[in-house]
Structures are given as structure tokens and as C-alpha cells.
Structure 1
Amino acid sequence: MIGRAADLVLRGVEWMLALALAAMVIMVFGNVVLRYAFDSGITVSEELSRFLFVWITFAGAVVVMRRGGHLGFDLLVRALPRAGRQACRILSDLLMLACCVVFLSGAWSQTLLNLGNAAPVSGLPLGWAYAAAVVSAAGLLVLIAADLVAALRGRDPPEPSPETQDPGA
């Protein structure tokens, strides 16, 4: 039930990522055409594209984490017996949770500090760009905590989805 809800939320995030990427492409391409063909441009498009790129990067990390697509080195872990693999998984999850807590704390502080600072062209609060890190850290925390709970219950980790597998392997 919770896995399905997470998949639905992440599907919505994927759609937002696709829309943000399309908006970036349109703004940047349109600005290039305007600059070279008409010697003008839309000044705010560069800044908005930068903000969208930050959000795409951080939100995309959460989606990739859910799919098991982040780089990992598991040659040694796969050679261990099941109990050793579970112990390494639990230790890994605990270390990642600690890193995410530090990341979330720093991102939250930066977001609050920059809410009062305005972007030079659009005037948008710079805290909105830093908020992408807060959302990403919170999403990663939830996914890692869910994996830790599954590991403590003795469940094997889910296999990475087919679209994250190397086709040449």
C-alpha cells in the first residue's frame, strides 16, 4: 500500500520534472533564437532555467533513489552470505540516514537564510532554489528509512527497475 502511494507520488514528480525540462528547453532555445535572429532576448529566462535545473537535479535524485539507479559497488557485498548482506545494508542505510539528516539540516538553514534575498533579475526569493535541497533530503530520508525498516524485518532489497539497468551488461 505504502509502496504504491510512493510510486504514485514519484510518478507525479516525474511528470513535473518532464514539464520543468520542457520549460527549460523552450526558454533557452527561445532566448538563443531571439538573441541571434533579433538581437534581443528575455532576460529572466536564464535565471528561471537555472532555478528549474536545480529543482530537476535534486528531485531527480529522489526518483532515481526509489528506482535503485544510483551508482553502487556491491561486488564484495554480493559475495557475502545473506546475513552479511543484510548487516551491510543496515549499516549502509544508517550511514545514509545520518548524511541525510546533516544535509537536511544544512539545506533548511540555507533556505531560511536566503528567503529574504531576491534573485537579481526575477526578484524571486533565492530560498526557493535552496528549498529543492530540503525537499530532496526529506524524500531521500523517507526512502532510506523505509529500506531500513524492510532490512530490519529481514526482507531482501527490491531489484533495480529495468530502465536503470545497463543494457550492455
Structure 2
Amino acid sequence: MLKKIEKIINYIEEYFIFGSLLLMVLIVFLNVIGRFIFNFSFSWSEEAARYLMIWATFIAASLGVKKGAHITLDILTIYLPEKMNRIVRAISYILSMVYCILILFIGIPFIMDMATKGQLSPALQMPIHFVYLSIIVGTVLMFIRYIFLFIDDIIHMNKIEKSEILAD
């Protein structure tokens, strides 16, 4: 069940990142063509590209958790036995989940406050809280990823314990 959910999240994240980066390149390319060939540029292109990049970045942060691409301090875990290594990683996942919860507790009221103020972006005239919502969405996805990693380590830790018992 968890693998199926993880597969769906992978699919959504990868296609969202690909689509937003492709759209960003297309918008900037069309604006450059328009500016140099037709002496016309879209007033909203830079802002749209920036917001697409922001969304892609926060969604990619979740994918980075899955792929182990975030900065880690692995000097300690290199010299530890596998079981202890998994315990250290599990603690790391718990701390990361606490960090995600902290971001959510701070971010959600902030975004709700921004939504009530009704501020619009300058060029696109879209609600500005939509841009900040990317932080919440990315953080929720990272939290889910850390849960999956934590559960995976617990399952493998139990398998290691069982194999050690059988070996004795």
C-alpha cells in the first residue's frame, strides 16, 4: 500500500517538475523571441517564470528527500554497524519530520493571513498567497517522504534483528 502511494507521489512530483520547468523555458523563450524579433514582450513572463521556479523548487525538495540528495553528515554513520546506522537515520528522519511540522505551524497561519489581505502579484494579478502555498505543499510532501523512509528503516531493522536471531 505504501509503495503504491509513494509511486503516485513520485509520478505527480516528477511530471509537475518537468511540466513547470518546460513551461518556464517556453515562456522565457517566447518572450525573448517576441522582444528581439517583434519588438514586443509579455509583461508577465518574468513573474510567471519566477513563480514556476519557486513551485518546482519546493516540489523538488520532496523528490530530493526520496533520492537522498539533501546535505547529510555521514561521517558518523560510515563507521557504525548497519543496525546502529539505521537507528541514527531513524533519529534523523524524526528530527526532519519535526522540522517539517514546525514549518507547517509557522507557514499555514502566515499564508492564511496573506489570503485574507488579498494581495495580488504585480503582473499576473493572481493571489500572492498561491506562491507561498508552494512552501506548504513541498513541506507536506517532504513530511510524507520522511515517514516512508522511517517506516522503511524500521521494517529493515526488524529484518536485521530476525536474521541475527536466526544466525545465532
Q: TM-score, normalised by structure 2?
A: 0.83
The code of the aligned residue for 1:150 comes to D
After superposition, the C-alpha distances for 1:83-102 in whole angstroms (9 at most, x for unaligned) are 32122112211211111111
Deviates more, 1:117-126 or 1:84-93: 84-93
CA distance in 1, matches of 2:101, 2:143: 8
Task: Kindly state the Cα deviation for residue 155 of structure 1 after the two structures are TM-superposed.
Answer: 5.5
Which residue in 2 is equivalent to 1:110? 110
CA distance in 2, matches of 1:96, 1:9: 19
Contact 2:2 2:148 in 1 (8 A): no
Contact 2:97 2:146 in 1 (8 A): yes
Larger radius of gyration: 2
The code of the aligned residue for 1:65 comes to V
Which residue in 2 is equivalent to 1:165? none
Which residue in 2 is equivalent to 1:45? 45
SS at match of 2:60: helix
SS at match of 1:105: helix
Task: Kindly state the Cα deviation for residue 34 of structure 1 after the two structures are TM-superposed.
Answer: 1.5
- 1:1-169 map, 5 Å: 1-115=1-115, 116-153=118-155, 154=157
Which residue in 2 is equivalent to 1:167? none
CA distance in 2, matches of 1:2, 1:67: 17
CA distance in 1, matches of 2:38, 2:86: 61
Deviates more, 1:52-61 or 1:4-13: 4-13
Q: Runs of 5+ in structure 2 lacking a partner?
A: 160-168
Structure 1 runs (4+) greater than 4 angstroms displaced: none
CA distance in 1, matches of 2:99, 2:148: 16
CA distance in 1, matches of 2:158, 2:22: 39
Contact 2:44 2:123 in 1 (8 A): yes
CA distance in 1, matches of 2:11, 2:68: 15
SS at match of 1:111: helix
Contact 2:111 2:133 in 1 (8 A): yes
Greater relative contact order (Cα 8 A, min sep 6): structure 1 or 2? 2
The code of the aligned residue for 2:24 comes to M
Deviates more, 1:107-116 or 1:23-32: 107-116
Q: TM-score, normalised by structure 1?
A: 0.83
For the structure 1 residues 8 and 63, does the alpha-carbon distance in structure 2 shift closer, same or farther, using more than 3 Å as the test? same
Identity %: 23
Q: What root-mean-square deviation, in Å, do the aligned CA atoms of Structure 1 and Structure 2 show?
A: 1.8
CA distance in 1, matches of 2:114, 2:30: 29
Task: Kindly state the Cα deviation for residue 149 of structure 1 after the two structures are TM-superposed.
Answer: 2.8
